[in-house]
Structure 1
């Protein structure tokens, strides 16, 4: 794991660039936040069932080739089928992983049970004050759930597994 040279104090400060102005300094440091993720999958029905159970989301729109799942916080997951032979090249340009944050310790344990029951591969790693569990969705894509989230425990390290 790689550690930063100077660890800032407080959970939110670890998420801001070193040259960002502190809150209340007259400069607004807030920016866009992630609202949606698009996941290309092999089988729409299996994947929708998986993500609904794991993420506790509801299907709000569905077609023959796509579905929109929405969580209670408004976050969206678009699930789009691309067929059983479509490849997912790891290591190419673009997002490789999405890490979800469990709602609490009980929710983290529930996510762990879902991943162990529905996933061929489950891996657990521990960071400074947080834990990440990794499983696979029905298309073999990595699905990661962490607890506590970065808003509760600052990430002061980079987990080597995700960049090695």
Structure 2
């Protein structure tokens, strides 16, 4: 479902946009591009690869001296690039700040929660309108978020204040 500008952040109900709206694309009936890969700069790619492989049930398919490539069963890729133990991750700067994963089901969500509780130095749970979001930290201290159910099952009618305050 498409949201008119501002509807998702205002708490109003979503409305279906007409096919000729700016959000519908430029003449294509298809859903548009989908996310295929994420590149994450980490302190140590080997430690991070082990963490993400366990949490996300991904396979490490390539390891080099400074990078690793993890691939999921559905082909999604996570590239991990070592930038050293002293590299900073400034929040509030231009660029992606968070990646939110969706658990495959309630059992998978519980598994992810267990992994994050066991392997993170910080852990938090938030409830949204019809979904739950858990947040932990990866070995580099980066936030890792997992939601259930996903936005394909429960429309997001709000923006969680943690991400824009």
TM-score over 0.5 for the pair: yes
Contact 1:20–1:29 under 8 Å retained in 2: no
Per-residue deviation, 1:61: 1.0
Q: Which residue of 2 aligns with 1:104?
A: 105
- Stretches of 4+ moved more than 6 A in 1? none
Are 1:50 and 2:51 matched, yes or no? yes
CA RMSD of aligned residues (A): 2.3
Equivalent position SS for 1:37: strand
Cα 1:30–1:42, aligned 2, differ >3 Å: closer, same or farther?
same
Query: 1:3 and 1:112 mapped to 2: Cα distance?
Result: 29
Query: Equivalents in 2 of 1:154, 1:17: separation in Å?
Result: 22
**Structure 1 length normalisation: TM-score?**
0.88
Matched residues in 2 for 1:139 and 1:17: separation?
Answer: 44
CA offsets 1:60-86 (integer angstroms, 9 cap, x no match): 111011010000110000011000001
- Report SS of the residue matched to 2:109: helix
- Partner of 2:69, secondary structure, is strand
Task: State the partner residue of 1:3.
Answer: 10
Equivalent pairs counted in the alignment come to: 156
Q: Tell me, in whole angstroms, the C-alpha distance in 2 between the residues paired with 1:17 and 1:127.
A: 31
**Any residues of structure 2 matched to 1:3-152 within 5 Å, and which?**
3-8=10-15, 19-20=22-23, 28-152=29-153
Give yes or no for contact 2:70–2:79 (8 Å, CA) kept in 1: yes
Query: Structure 1 residues 132, 60: closer, same or farther in 2, change over 3 A?
Result: same
Q: Which runs of 5+ in 2 are unaligned?
A: 1-7
Preserved contact between residue 2 and residue 160 of structure 1 (Cα < 8 Å): no
How much does 1:125 deviate? 0.5
Higher RCO (CA < 8 A, seq sep 6+): 1
User: Residues of 2 paired with 1:17 and 1:140: CA distance?
Assistant: 43
Paired residue secondary structure (1:143): strand
